[in-house]
Amino acid sequence: MKSDASTTLIDNYFGLLSSLSREDKIKLIARLSNSIVDEVSEKEDVVDRFFGAFKSDKSAEEIINDTSLV
């Protein structure tokens, strides 16, 4: 659940933005949506880099054979 401070901040922004034209509101929605998508993409990239995103052109058998030599 949102805190009172967060709710108040959202209400204040809404009051400021309610006077915008329809087109400007749509542009704002698009920018906010893109910022969320960018954040999610960045987080996924970090997860892929550090946690299990192994990529190889070798088959499973080749990888197994390579590791058995170690």
State the pLDDT at residue 22: 94
Give the Cα separation of 28 and 12 in Å (integer). 16
Indicate if the pLDDT at residue 40 is higher than 70: no
> 38 or 37: whose pLDDT is higher?
37
pLDDT, mean of residues 26-43:
80
Full-model pTM: 0.47
In terms of pLDDT, which residue wins out, 16 or 50? 16
Of the two residues 51 and 26, the one the predictor is more confident about is 26
φ and ψ at 26, to 5 degrees? -65, -40
C-alpha to C-alpha distance for 45 and 53, rounded to whole angstroms: 10
Residue that wins the pLDDT comparison between 6 and 40: 6
Location of structure tokens 């052109």: 57
